[in-house]
Structure 1
Amino acid sequence: MSLDFLVGFTIFMLALIMVVSMVPGLLVGLQSSGIDYDAVAYRTGVILAEDPGWPVYPPWEMKTDAYKDEIERMGLAASKETPNILLSTKVDAFFNSFFTADDYRSKAIFGDIPYSYNFSLRSEDYNYATGDPLPPGYGYIRRAVKIKEPGVANISYNSSFNETTLDPSEPRVFTVRLDFSQLLDPSVGPAYRIDPRTEPVNITITEFGRYLNATASAENATLRDVTFWKMDPTVPMPRFTRIPFSYNTEDPDLYTLSLDGNSSDLKPNAPVNSSISLVLKPVATSIFTLDQNSVLDIRFTFDDGVPQRTFMNGTYLYDYDNVTIADLKPAVLEVAIW
């Protein structure tokens, strides 16, 4: 009886093993070989609309072509705390940059196969698209989002700033001051925060003619230079030091300076009679090595000798009282994958 049981049990186990090994082959025709493109599109939409990408600071959108390998994710959100609120600088970099199809696949889609794609962002103010034309069938996701745009300091004749009394022969220095401890106040939500590390600093001076010296019948004043100075108030005996910079080289990746509508470098030594516009890009701010305690001064120096042609001098605070913050712009983000 023991020998018969052993033989029977052995035959049973061999038969069971054969059956188990044959079952996957029998069911292979019932398994789905398709890819859920909707799921891939949904996952990609979540990355774009809810993640700021990586690295966060300096943010990935500042990377140039030579350093794009340092980018791990291309998220568009202003922060992780603000899903579906996108940052305009990230949007511009994502759609108007040097990225290849492989970059989008590896840094936004994260697929194991070479997916085709089409990304678009549409609104009254935005009309972006990148990728291939849509085929008859594809995975798709649409998300309602809002766009956060950088604030602007519009300085006109009625703007308030602390004027200083100078000797008639002294150059006039007009300072725009950014106190990072105030701007990066955690109590201000990321959707409305002024963050020069990730957004351009936009300074527009209009009605400049009203600051001219009327007694000297001045028609313009000479802007000698625009310089950057920083201070750390937390160190003993804090003081402002000038930031080394390529002041005499125009570089639109770092800044743009316009005098009466004409572009210039930061040492124009040229007359201005109506307007000045300076846009300091986050790339420039990142190389200034500023932190949450820093104070940044942007100094406009006017010098025409005796008599000075303008009386514009003093300090203007670039803060939540003086900077105009645009309303969030509604838009639709669409992701198609196939």
Structure 2
Amino acid sequence: MSLDFLAGFTIFLLALIMVVSMVPGLLAGLESSGIDYDAVAYRTGVILAEDPGWPVYPPWEMKTDAYKDEIERMGLAVSKETPNILLSTKVNAFFNDSFFAEEDYRSKAIFGDIPYSYNFSLSSGGVLLNQTGDTLPPGYGYIRRVVKIKEPGVAVINDSFASQYTSSSSAQNFTVRLNFSRLLNASIDPAYRIDPRTEPVNVTITDFSEYLNGSCSDATLKDVTFWKMDPTTPMPRFSRIPFSYNTMDPNLYNLSLDGTPTDLAPETKVAENITLVLKPAATSLFTLDQNSILDIRFTFEDTDYPHTNITGIHHYDYNATNVTRPDLKPAVLEVAIW
């Protein structure tokens, strides 16, 4: 009888010990735990300020609504080698809350299982540049990052080039040339690199009267065409890029003559200035690589006689007189999560 009692009591004690050891684990899910919103805000700030996002090329900011699901991460940095230097085209795309929904920001920038609320803002010199998200509540997690914004360069061809780009011959073709092997040279700091794959190419011809022939007050721009060449191939030569030259598409380019928007085959008179902005979405269609040369050709044609003497090749490159590259703009990126 005593042996039975001892065996039963021993089994009871072992069972009791096992139950007691399991109780904390059973109650763990019922314990309250706080969320470190500052940590979530810090992590999000790191992603935005130090990462270029994914995919890198073609970059995520060029994705249309039909391909928005291909965006895995929305980073704003020019590259991984340039933390805290943001690319203006990425910034503009990120703050386009008519394109991105709340769930897009949560899944592609915040990366949390909890449906966090958020507020992202970017300011420079005390002036708010962009903002998206909800109104800030009394308590929230917060991080502030001091950043700089890289703006695209502009090729301004003014009267200082008149003697260089005029000729008495009947040729009326003017070319702006982009040599990708020079532009994408790895020795150039990405923060200052001209990359037509990720930022717009801006060509502006001002003081157009300086290029006119004699007493002419204007000249007819027949068309603007794109040509490419790969110098590494046998017998390299330029070939015209198939493009919808007669279709105005602000997502691909903007062309204006004396301030009036037009397509790339305007056959319209111009007297003062020409502005062409070729956007990365268009450049991506041209299947260019690091060896390519892209020519932008302006062709002028008047029925009676040449109204302009403009000719020559303007190199879109790192020469300070050829392309003006704005200084990096200081700014503050603020991330609030709750």
- In the aligned structure 2, how far is the partner of 1:206 from the partner of 1:27? 72
Match of 1:189 in 2: 189
Contact (CA 8 Å) 1:81, 1:190: kept in 2 or not? yes
Contact 1:160–1:316 (Cα < 8 Å) also in 2: no
Q: Secondary structure at the match of 1:234?
A: coil
**Conserved in 1, the CA contact under 8 Å of 2:167 and 2:310?**
no
Could you tell me the TM-score, scaled by structure 2's length?
0.93
Structure 2 Cα separation of the partners of residues 272 and 65 of structure 1: 36
- CA deviation after TM superposition for structure 1 residue 6, in Å: 6.8
Separation in structure 1 between the aligned mates of residue 310 and residue 162 of structure 2, nearest angstrom: 12
Aligned-pair Cα RMSD in Å: 2.2
SS of the residue aligned with 1:153?
Answer: strand
Partner of residue 129 from structure 2, selected from 106, 127, 130: 127
1:58 aligns with 2:58: yes
Q: Distance in 1 between matches of 2:44 and 2:174?
A: 47
Give the counterpart letter for 1:153 in structure 2.
A
Aligned to 2:105: 104
1:16, distance to aligned residue in structure 2 (A): 2.2
Structure 1 residues 27 and 237 mapped into 2: Cα distance closer, same or farther (>3 Å)? closer
| 1:249 partner SS | coil
Task: Tell me how far apart the structure 1 counterparts of residues 173 and 23 of structure 2 sit (CA, whole Å).
Answer: 86
1:218 is matched with 216
Residues 204 and 163 from structure 1, CA distance in 2 versus in 1: closer, same or farther, beyond 3 angstroms? closer
Aligned amino acid, residue 110 of structure 2: I
Q: Following superposition of structure 1 onto structure 2, how do residues 231-242 of structure 1 map, counting pairs within 5 Å?
A: 231-242=229-240
Q: Which amino acid aligns with 1:329?
A: K
Query: Deviation at 1:261?
Result: 0.8
Deviation at 1:15, TM superposition (A): 3.0
Aligned-residue offset at 1:263: 0.6
C-alpha contact 1:161 1:317 (8 A) present in aligned 2: no
Residue number in structure 2 paired with 1:137: 139
Matches within 5 A, 1:25-36: 31-36=31-36
Tell me if structure 2 keeps the 8 A contact 1:223–1:268.
yes
What's the CA shift string for 1:120-139, capped at 9, x where partnerless? 00114752110110111111
Q: Secondary structure at the match of 2:223?
A: strand
Deviation at 1:7, TM superposition (A): 6.5
**Given residue 155 of structure 1, which amino acid in structure 2 is its aligned partner?**
I
After superposition, what is the alpha-carbon deviation per residue over 1:167-212, rounded to whole angstroms, capped at 9, x for unaligned? 43x4x00000000000000000110000000000000111110110
Aligned-residue offset at 1:23: 3.1
Separation in 2, partners of 1:131, 1:17:
50
Q: Verify the 8 A CA contact 2:173 2:298 in the aligned structure 1.
A: yes
Report what 1:332 is aligned to. Answer: 332
Unpaired runs of 5+ residues, structure 2, are none
Q: 1:119 and 1:68, CA in 2 relative to 1: closer, same or farther beyond 3 A?
A: same
Contact 2:224/2:299 (8 A) holds in 1: yes
1:73 aligned partner, one-letter code: R
Cα distance in 2 for residues equivalent to 1:9 and 1:281: 81
What secondary structure is seen at the aligned counterpart in 2 of 1:127? Answer: strand
Cα 1:316–1:10 shift into 2, 3 Å? same
Which position in structure 1 is the counterpart of 2:259? 261
Question: Is 1:155 the equivalent of 2:153?
Answer: no
Q: Give the SS at the match of 2:284.
A: helix
Q: Which residue number in structure 2 is paired with residue 198 of structure 1?
A: 198
1:22 match? 23
TM-score computed with the length of structure 1 as normaliser? 0.93
Structure 1 gap ranges (5+): none
How many percent of aligned residue pairs carry the same amino acid?
Answer: 68
Q: Which runs of 4+ in 1 moved over 6 A?
A: 1-8, 26-29
Deviates more, 1:94-103 or 1:155-164: 155-164
Counterpart for residue 293 of structure 1: 291
